[in-house]
């Protein structure tokens, strides 16, 4: 079972994202985002990216989602819409579940599970994630390179996040 | 809007298009497109009416979907070529997905439905930015991946765009919607020639931007947004009627005006590549475009629309709006045809 942990995590990932996108109230959507964020981190861990996974846990789940949860709790209504309270939401959730279930069956019975966790060197696919240095972890070296060679990327990313906030404030200003 | 915020958003708009055009890494190009979308949404909502909110929402949804498809195509390209350089794509799936994503961003048929609705809901000058500046970034990416674009897909989408741009504009009286359908048709002309000679795409884009800028600036002088208001310009600014007519005829592609140049070059290039049916059909469907431009020119400059008597005696004020670059733009959009050999520099 442990061999298929990446596959199981990816299935839970998809199920919780289906739970978010079937449009319940934001409180329940936030729950779906937490579970999907955690599963995504788990997948990143399993491929060797320990630092980046922990970063996502800390900043995304522990910072941004917490703030989102508090603001959604402040703006919530008296009877928030859950997954089972409305036929539309339930129908969306169930159709997503059905499609995911069919895909799981296809992957398991078609003997294609190895695709999920053996991307490296599969057939003639070129290796795209961790290289084969063996001396240092490319992931952490990459993060260090972001702040030395990739200064322009940091500037652009920081500016676009700032503009995102400015845009949201301008749109919701209202007068 | 607070002028500080306005400067920041406009400079981000310019910066984002520059990032897309000069970057050599796919991730950077994607970041530039996202910044572009985020920076223009508050500009579109300068007056926070429900109409502007609806237009901004539609714009955001379509562009975000296109960005997601673009990212998928980039990742598939990465999977098959293990590198992030912006050059031709190495997989037909990635190429088709990216072509469709950029078609959604540009407003090519069959993804054109957002263009008239978004253009109608925003002010005239914002519509100008939407229809001219926002086309630069996707076309620069299309130019760079042009060796790997599927010919059948591209020609189908562009011919459908010319057809829908011509046909859709026939029943419109709102000028912004007419300009939107004109944009769809011009995008169709531009992307037809992309696979044969991409320099002509750039030429067409340049001439299209000059003509659309002229048209929007002329419309913004009197804040005319309907044909009815346009038909009253003879009373307030008589010289604008002549310029409006000339610019409209230039947009329709009539010689000896500038708008003929890209159409002529495109048809010549297509016939050199031994495709004869396509340019014939394109030239015929461009007549639909010419028809509604002619109708506007007719009601503006050639006849006096029926109106009540007090509409015929308006006070002629000095113009208070900035006519930024209007004379230059008018000259450029009507008299550039003899300088066609000059565009050799685009090669």
d(CA B142, CA B329): 27
For residues B257-280, give the mean pLDDT. 94
My answer on whether A12 and A80 are in the same domain is yes
d(C-alpha A150, C-alpha A169), whole Å: 29
Cβ-Cβ contacts under 8 Å, A175 against chain B:
48
Enumerate residues 6+ apart whose C-beta is below 8 A from A175.
B48
Look at chain A and report how many structural domains it folds into: 2
Beta-carbon contacts below 8 Å between A and B:
52
Q: Are residues A40 and A72 in the same domain?
A: yes
Nearest to A160 among B9, B38, B81 (CB): B38
Reported as a pLDDT band with limits 50, 70 and 90, residue A116 is low
Q: Which two three-digit tokens encode residue B96? A: 């088709």
Over residues B272-279, the mean pLDDT reads 93
Identify which has the larger pLDDT, B314 or B335: B335
Domain that holds residue A163: 136-174
* Same structural domain, A61 and A115: yes
On whether both A24 and A51 belong to a single domain, the answer is: yes
From the centroid of its chain, how far is CA A131?
23
**Cα gap B323→A51, rounded to integer Å:** 56
pLDDT at A130: 52
Same domain, A98 and A78: yes
Same domain, A112 and A43: yes
CB B116 within 8 A of CB B180: yes
* pLDDT of amino acid B327: 93
B interface residues, A as partner, C-beta within 8 Å:
1, 5, 8-9, 12, 15, 19, 28, 31, 34-35, 38-39, 41-42, 45, 48, 56, 78-82
Which one of A160, A161, A165 makes the best mutation probe of the B interface by having the most chain B beta carbons within 10 Å? A160
pTM (two decimals): 0.89
If one counts every other C-beta atom within 10 angstroms of the C-beta of residue B71, the result is: 18
- Measure Cα distances from B344 to B167, B265, B301 in Å: 33, 12, 35
- Please compute, for residue B139, the number of CA atoms within 13 A of its CA located in the half-sphere on the CB side: 29
Q: How far is CA A140 from CA A50, A146, A150, B75, in A?
A: 9, 10, 14, 22
Residue A24: which CATH number?
1.20.120
Contact B79 A128 (CB under 8 A): yes
Nearest to A164 among B15, B19, B38 (CB): B38
CB contact at 8 A, B229 and B305? no
CA distance A126 to B83: 10
- Mean pLDDT score, B147-164: 95
Contacts of B56 in chain A (CB under 8 A): 171
Q: Are the beta carbons of A167 and B39 separated by less than 8 Å?
A: yes
Contacts of B28 in chain A (CB under 8 A): 153, 156
Q: What is the pLDDT of residue A109?
A: 81
Verify whether the Cβ–Cβ distance A159 to B35 is below 8 Å.
yes
Residues of A in contact with B31 (CB under 8 A): 156-157, 160
Put simply, whether A165 touches B (Cβ < 8 Å) is: no
Mutate to test the interface with B, among A164, A166, A172 (most CBs of B within 10 A): A166
Q: How far is A166 from chain B (nearest CA, A)?
A: 8
| pLDDT tens digits along B6-21 | 999 999 999 999 999 9
A116 and A158 inside one domain: no
A171 part of contact set with chain B, CB < 8 Å = yes
Q: How many beta carbons lie within 10 A of that of residue B206, not counting itself?
A: 16
Output the six-digit token pair for B144. Answer: 């760079």
Residue-wise pLDDT for B60-74, tens only, equals 999 999 999 999 999
> B142 pLDDT exceeds 90?
yes
Query: What value does the mean pLDDT take over residues A70-74?
Result: 91
Would you mind telling me the total number of residues written for chain A in this entry? Answer: 175
Residues A83 and A152 in one domain: no
B1 contacts on A by Cβ (under 8 Å):
170
- Per-residue pLDDT, B129: 93
Note whether B19 contacts A156, CB cutoff 8 Å.
Answer: yes
Residue tagged 């400015």 (tokens):
A166
Domain boundary among the residues A105, A128, A151 is at: A128
Smallest CA–CA separation between A124 and chain B, in Å? Answer: 9
Q: Under a CB-based contact definition with an 8 Å cutoff, are residues B235 and B311 in contact?
A: yes
Tell me whether A174 touches chain B (CB under 8 Å).
Answer: yes
User: What length does chain B have?
Assistant: 347
Both A121 and A152 in one domain: the answer is no
B40-57 mean pLDDT: 93
pLDDT of A175 strictly over 60: yes
Residues A118, A149: one domain?
no
- Residues A99 and A150 reside in one and the same domain: no
Mean pLDDT over each residue of chain B, to the nearest integer: 93
**In a shared domain, residues A55 and A39:** yes
Q: If you write DSSP's letter for every residue of A110-153 in order, what string do you get?
A: TT-THHHH--TT-TTPPP-SS-S-SSS-HHHHHHHHHHHTTHHH
Comparing CB atoms, the residue among A127, A156, A163 nearest residue B38 is A163
Distance of CA B340 to the CA centre of its chain: 21
Closest residue of chain A to B28, computed from CA coordinates: A153
Q: Is-contact B219 B229, C-beta < 8 A?
A: no
């Amino acid at each position: 079972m442990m061999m298929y942990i990446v596959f199981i995590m990816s299935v839970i990932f998809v199920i919780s994202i289906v739970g978010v996108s079937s449009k319940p109230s934001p409180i329940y959507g936030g729950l779906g985002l937490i579970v999907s964020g955690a599963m995504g981190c788990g997948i990143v861990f399993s491929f060797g990216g320990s630092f980046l996974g922990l970063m996502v846990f800390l900043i995304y789940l522990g910072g941004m989602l917490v703030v989102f949860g508090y603001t959604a709790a402040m703006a919530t209504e008296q009877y928030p819409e859950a997954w089972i309270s409305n036929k539309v939401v339930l129908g969306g959730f169930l159709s997503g579940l059905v499609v995911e279930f069919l895909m799981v069956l296809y992957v398991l019975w078609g003997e294609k599970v190895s695709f999920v966790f053996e991307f490296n060197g599969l057939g003639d696919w070129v290796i795209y994630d961790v290289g084969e240095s063996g001396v240092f972890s490319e992931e952490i070296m990459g993060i260090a390179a972001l702040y030395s060679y990739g200064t322009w990327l940091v500037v652009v990313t920081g500016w676009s996040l700032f503009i995102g906030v400015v845009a949201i404030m301008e749109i919701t200003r209202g007068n | 809007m607070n002028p500080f915020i306005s400067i920041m958003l406009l400079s981000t708009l310019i910066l984002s298009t520059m990032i897309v055009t000069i970057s050599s890494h796919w991730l950077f190009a994607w970041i530039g497109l996202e910044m572009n979308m985020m920076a223009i949404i508050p500009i579109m909502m300068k007056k926070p009416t429900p109409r502007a909110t609806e237009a901004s929402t539609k714009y955001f949804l379509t562009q975000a979907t296109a960005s997601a498809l673009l990212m998928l195509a980039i990742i598939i390209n990465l999977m098959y070529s293990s590198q992030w350089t912006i050059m031709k794509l190495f997989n037909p799936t990635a190429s088709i997905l990216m072509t469709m994503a950029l078609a959604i961003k540009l407003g090519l048929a069959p993804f054109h439905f957002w263009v008239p609705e978004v253009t109608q809901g925003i002010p005239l000058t914002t519509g100008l930015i939407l229809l001219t500046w926002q086309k630069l970034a996707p076309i620069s990416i299309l130019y760079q991946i042009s060796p790997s674009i599927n010919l059948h897909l591209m020609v189908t989408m562009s011919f459908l765009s010319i057809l829908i741009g011509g046909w859709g504009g026939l029943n419109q009286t709102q000028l912004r919607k007419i300009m939107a359908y004109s944009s769809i048709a011009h995008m169709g002309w531009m992307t037809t020639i992309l696979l044969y000679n991409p320099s002509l795409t750039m030429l067409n884009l340049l001439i299209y931007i000059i003509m659309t800028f002229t048209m929007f600036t002329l419309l913004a002088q009197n804040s005319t947004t309907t044909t009815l208001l346009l038909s009253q310009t003879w009373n307030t600014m008589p010289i604008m009627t002549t310029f409006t007519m000339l610019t409209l005829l230039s947009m329709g592609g009539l010689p000896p005006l500038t708008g003929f140049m890209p159409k002529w070059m495109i048809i010549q290039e297509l016939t050199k590549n031994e495709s004869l049916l396509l340019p014939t059909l394109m030239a015929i469907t461009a007549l639909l475009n010419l028809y509604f431009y002619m109708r506007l020119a007719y009601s503006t400059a050639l006849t006096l629309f029926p109106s009540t008597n007090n509409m015929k005696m308006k006070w002629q004020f000095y113009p208070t709006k900035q006519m930024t670059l209007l004379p230059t733009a008018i000259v450029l959009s009507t008299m550039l045809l003899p300088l066609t050999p000059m565009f050799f520099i685009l090669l």
